[in-house]
Amino acid sequence: MGYTPLYAAPEHLMPSKYGHTDARTDIWQLGVTFYELLTGKLPFEGYTYEEVFGKIVDEDYKFTPPSKINPGLAKYDGIFERLLAKKKEDRYPSVDDFLNDLKNLEESEKRKAELEVEVEKLKKSLSESMTALKKSTSAEEIMRNRRIVVETLGKLALTYAELNRKAELLNTLNDLKFYTVQNLGGLSNAISTVEALIRENLPVKEDFIERLKVLVHSIKRENEGRYTQISYQREPTFSSRSKTTQQKPTRSAGGRKRDVDKYIEIDGKVIEFKDRTGELSPDEMEKLARDAYTFYMNNIEKIVQFLTREVERKGYPLTPQLLERVRNPNRISMWKNGNVRIYNHDSKDQIKKVGIVIDRNTFEIKRSVISR
């Protein structure tokens, strides 16, 4: 099959990499001609044939979208991503499929305008629900506002996907990572797919959107009733399971103060409290444990993000099990320097402790607790 050099398809120039020519090669040449008619330019230009050929076969080189040449041509951007896809399998399978998209362009533009309005509404709603989540003062509020955040992020992701706004879609999917453990694998795969679409300048296809709908629904279901409501009677009660039954700190044979261990029960969840100062009264222990736990759960998303970065920075594997532990602290300890540690301890895991250190008075997060 012959070809004009400036209209050559990748498979014309490098069949060893892109395969042999077929009907989809004509789709590429149609795309080059259509691009030139609309913009007055060729999608791949250069001073020599060698330079043009290099751009055509380079997977990382992207042609300039028509909207960058003339904003009025923005509606054609997605069409050219398929017409001029470097890999044949990513192009329109036939001219009829291309013509069908072209015919539906007016309807697509109307739908796009509606989605753009929806995006602004969702962004505003997300901002408000994120603020409400940060200001939540009870576990019930945290659960309710968390569900709203997850639902809004899911809708936003699907809207960005339909609009073919891949960068915003990628950012939204990355935000969703902090709200799932069970679906983290599927979400990571979706993120990798969008990164590939961006890298190869390909459009978001309908089959990906359908799979994304299922994933978003699963994450939403995962967050329905994820946390049990923290319920106190009039005051939190500590069980009698402690290493010492005395109210005052005792001393070991060598005269050193022992750590006083108590347990607070929150809807069946047992939080172990250690007083490493040996100086807190039962009331002080009770109040500090309650305040520290409430602070942790009220700022859970910020803490998850912080600890995710810290775990990755230290070179440890970030597993779904570890993220689940971050969301479920089971120990609180008070130290003489005024620091309070709140963390999850599991002696059987590779990372035995994961959590944070906060200032007792300001409740400022000072550093992470990550130890093997």
What structural domains does the chain harbor?
5-103 (1.10.510.10), 106-222 (no CATH), 238-371 (no CATH)
Give the list of residues 6+ apart from residue 237 with CB closer than 8 angstroms, or none: 264, 265
In contact, 186 and 215? CB cutoff 8 Å:
yes
Q: How far is the C-alpha of 92 from the C-alpha of 133, rounded, in Å?
A: 45
pLDDT tens digits for 286-336?
788 878 888 888 788 888 888 988 888 888 888 878 888 888 888 898 888
Minimal CA–CA distance to 238: which of 266, 259, 258?
266
Q: Taking residues 196-221, report their average pLDDT.
A: 90
**Strand duo 365-371 + 353-359: pairing:** antiparallel
Check residue 245 and give its pLDDT: 29
Query: How high is the pLDDT of residue 246?
Result: 33
Distance CA 56, CA 239 (A): 71
Q: Report the percent of the chain where pLDDT is more than 70.
A: 87
- Look at residues 278, 321, 272, 311 and name the one whose alpha carbon lies nearest to residue 292: 272
Q: Is 121 helix (H, G, I), strand (E, B) or coil?
A: helix
Query: Once rounded to an integer, what is the mean pLDDT over residues 26-30?
Result: 94
Tokens of 353: 């402790």
pLDDT of residue 190: 94
User: What pLDDT does 26 receive?
Assistant: 93
pLDDT at 172 over 70: yes
What amino acid is encoded at 233 in this protein?
Answer: Q
Tell me the per-residue pLDDT of 85-143, one tens digit each, with 9 for 90 and over.
999 999 999 999 999 888 888 788 888 889 999 999 999 999 998 888 877 776 677 77
Pairing verdict, β 238-239 and 260-266: antiparallel
Determine what percent of the chain falls in helix, strand and coil, rounding each to the nearest 5: 55, 10, 35
Maximum distance among all Cα pairs of the chain, rounded to whole angstroms: 95
**Phi, psi dihedral angles at 277 (to 5 degrees):** -90, -30
Cβ distance 204 to 169 under 8 Å? yes
Helix (H, G, I), strand (E, B) or coil at 42: coil
pLDDT exceeds cutoff 50 at 254: no
pLDDT confidence of 169, banded at 50, 70, 90?
very high
On the CB side of 245, CA atoms within 13 Å amount to 2
Task: Please report how the helices 95-103 and 105-134 are oriented relative to each other, as an axis angle in degrees rounded to 10.
Answer: 70
| Cα–Cα distance measured from residue 149 to residue 151, given in angstroms and rounded to the nearest whole number | 6
The string of DSSP letters for 165-178 reads -HHHHHHHHHHHGG
Residues 67, 64: Cα–Cα separation, whole Å: 8
pLDDT tier, 337 (very low <50, low <70, confident <90, very high otherwise): confident
Helix (H, G, I), strand (E, B) or coil at 344: strand
Given this model, what pLDDT does residue 93 score?
92
Q: Assess contact for 203 and 62: CB atoms under 8 A.
A: no
371 sits in which H/E element? strand 365-371
What is the torsional sign of CA 133, 136, 140, 142?
positive
For 82, phi and psi rounded to 5 degrees? Answer: -90, -40
Taken as a whole, the chain contains a residue count of 372
C-alpha 352/C-alpha 154 separation (Å) is 33
What does the block give as tokens for 153? 């992020």
The rounded mean pLDDT for the chain is: 82
**Contact criterion met (CB below 8 Å) for 297 and 304:** no
CA 301-307-231 angle, to 5 degrees, is 45
Burial class (CB in 10 A: 0-12, 13-18, 19+), 211: middle
